[in-house]
């Protein structure tokens, strides 16, 4: 009896050792570098199970032992936690890291950059042309309602979802800026701040000028002067769908559309573009000064004036610069 007991103990010990060795080997195989020679991607559609994921990863060369991968996936409960999306695996990725990528839902993200100053029509066209987004745009955002920014998205995300994110970002930025606005602005509500911000955005590409230009428009509003800003005229002529393609003419400044600030007093009825955060901040916290005019200086910036006489001199100089640039074929 004692001999049988010793044999049983020996067999049990050997079994434990073999099991430990098997587990150790399995863990080593699970954690060692994988066979993938270069980075590769797979797609995991919604609703698929572990079998689909293992098949895709095997075909892509991410894993060399599907059976072992399945065992570890089931041990870790990954078969119930797989998330849909596009996954990218680095070269030589281990099975453990590869499984973690899928479980964590670390899908490949793409970028959609919408620059400041585009109209809503132009912005929606860019979203429509984004190849990795899906579905039509059914939403109809107003002019100025979309925040320019760089948006990250997973392949297959709906275009409407991007539009909603842009609307939410604009609402948040405008609410915050309006709450922190300077006192005694000649703006009745945040919608007017958005209109002014859109004009500021279209008037200058120089960050350092935004608050100063906003200050000019605020001064003119306070004095009951027309804003007389060219971008509003262009918006009324094009509907925000294209560039004018030519220089503004005197007759354009007399065209009595709703956005013509050479004809009408006050702000136009809607924004003329989607302004960025900095332009919104400039509109609600303009630079305090007594300047009433500005004109291009030929370098991308502007010359600011306090009186109309000073402004006329700056205008004459700008026209000379423009003629010179035209002769040189630069404008």
The DSSP result for 210-265, as a single string, is HHHHHHHHHHHHHHT-----HHHHHHHHHTTSS---S---HHHHT---TT-TTTSS
Choose between 300 and 190: higher pLDDT: 190
Q: Which residues pair with 6 in a beta bridge?
A: none
Do 202 and 323 share a domain, yes or no? yes
Residue 6 confidence (pLDDT): 53
H helix or E strand, kind and range, residue 304: strand 302-305
Do 158 and 90 share a domain, yes or no? no
At 73, the pLDDT band (50, 70, 90 cuts) reads confident
Number of domains the chain is built from = 3
Distance CA 257, CA 264 (A): 9
Burial class from Cβ neighbours inside 10 Å (0-12, 13-18, 19+) for residue 204 reads buried
Do 152 and 267 share a domain, yes or no? no
Q: Is the pLDDT of residue 9 over 90?
A: no
Choose between 8 and 137: higher pLDDT: 137
Region 8-30: mean pLDDT is 50
Torsion of CA 26, 30, 35, 39, to 10 degrees: 170
- For the chain, counts of helices (H) and of strands (E): 12, 6
Domain containing residue 74: CATH number: 3.30.1490.480
Distance CA 314, CA 305 (A): 8
Do 218 and 276 share a domain, yes or no? yes
| Structural domain includes residue 21 | no
pLDDT digits (tens, 9 = 90+) for 267-284: 999 999 999 999 999 999
Do 186 and 313 share a domain, yes or no? yes
Do 118 and 196 share a domain, yes or no? no
Do 126 and 83 share a domain, yes or no? no
Choose between 220 and 52: higher pLDDT: 220
| Structural domain includes residue 13 | no
| Structural domain includes residue 175 | no
Which of 170, 199, 215 is the last residue in one of the domains?
A: 170
Q: Is the pLDDT of residue 14 over 90?
A: no
Distance CA 52, CA 57 (A): 9
| Structural domain includes residue 294 | yes
| Structural domain includes residue 140 | yes
Region 77-89: mean pLDDT is 80
| Structural domain includes residue 23 | no
At 76, the pLDDT band (50, 70, 90 cuts) reads confident
Distance CA 282, CA 214 (A): 6
At 85, the pLDDT band (50, 70, 90 cuts) reads confident
Do 99 and 213 share a domain, yes or no? no
Do 221 and 129 share a domain, yes or no? no
Do 71 and 52 share a domain, yes or no? yes
pLDDT digits (tens, 9 = 90+) for 141-164: 999 999 999 999 988 899 999 999
| Structural domain includes residue 8 | no
Residue 8 confidence (pLDDT): 52
At 225, the pLDDT band (50, 70, 90 cuts) reads very high
Residue 5 confidence (pLDDT): 55
Region 243-253: mean pLDDT is 90
Q: Which domain holds residue 149?
A: 109-170
Which of 122, 144, 170 is the last residue in one of the domains?
A: 170
Do 101 and 138 share a domain, yes or no? no
Residue 331 confidence (pLDDT): 47
Distance CA 270, CA 247 (A): 23
Region 16-33: mean pLDDT is 55
Q: What is the mean pLDDT of the chain?
A: 88
| Structural domain includes residue 89 | yes
At 22, the pLDDT band (50, 70, 90 cuts) reads very low
Do 137 and 96 share a domain, yes or no? no
Which of 143, 170, 197 is the last residue in one of the domains?
A: 170
Q: How much of the chain exceeds pLDDT 90, in percent?
A: 59
Q: Is the pLDDT of residue 20 over 50?
A: no
Q: Is the pLDDT of residue 84 over 50?
A: yes
């Amino acid at each position: 009896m004692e001999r049988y007991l010793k044999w049983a103990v020996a067999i049990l010990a050997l079994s434990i050792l073999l099991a430990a060795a098997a587990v150790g080997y399995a863990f080593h195989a699970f954690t060692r570098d994988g066979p993938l020679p270069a980075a590769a991607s797979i797609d995991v559609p919604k609703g698929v199970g572990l079998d689909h994921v293992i098949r895709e990863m095997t075909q892509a060369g991410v894993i060399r032992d599907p059976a072992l991968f399945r065992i570890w996936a089931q041990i870790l409960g990954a078969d119930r936690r797989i998330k849909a999306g596009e996954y990218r695996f680095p070269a030589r990725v281990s099975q453990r890291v590869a499984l973690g990528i899928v479980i964590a839902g670390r899908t490949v993200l793409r970028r959609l950059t919408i620059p400041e100053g585009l109209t809503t029509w132009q912005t929606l066209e860019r979203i429509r042309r984004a190849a990795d987004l899906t579905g039509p745009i059914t939403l109809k955002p107003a002019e100025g309602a979309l925040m320019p920014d760089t948006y990250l998205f997973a392949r297959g995300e709906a275009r409407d979802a991007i539009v909603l994110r842009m609307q939410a970002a604009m609402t948040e930025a405008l609410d915050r800026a309006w709450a922190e606005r300077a006192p005694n602005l000649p703006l009745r509500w945040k919608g007017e701040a958005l209109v002014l911000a859109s004009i500021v955005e279209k008037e200058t590409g120089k960050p350092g000028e935004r608050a100063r230009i906003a200050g000019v428009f605020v001064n003119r509003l306070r004095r009951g002067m027309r804003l007389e800003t060219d971008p509003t005229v262009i918006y009324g002529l094009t509907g925000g769908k294209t560039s004018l393609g030519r220089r503004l003419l005197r007759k354009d400044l007399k065209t009595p559309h709703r956005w013509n600030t050479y004809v009408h007093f006050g702000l136009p009825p809607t924004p003329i573009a989607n302004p960025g955060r900095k332009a919104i901040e400039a509109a609600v916290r303009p630079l305090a000064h007594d300047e009433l005019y500005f004109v291009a200086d030929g370098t991308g910036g502007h010359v600011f004036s306090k009186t109309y006489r000073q402004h006329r001199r700056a205008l004459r100089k700008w026209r000379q610069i423009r003629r010179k640039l035209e002769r040189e074929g630069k404008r």
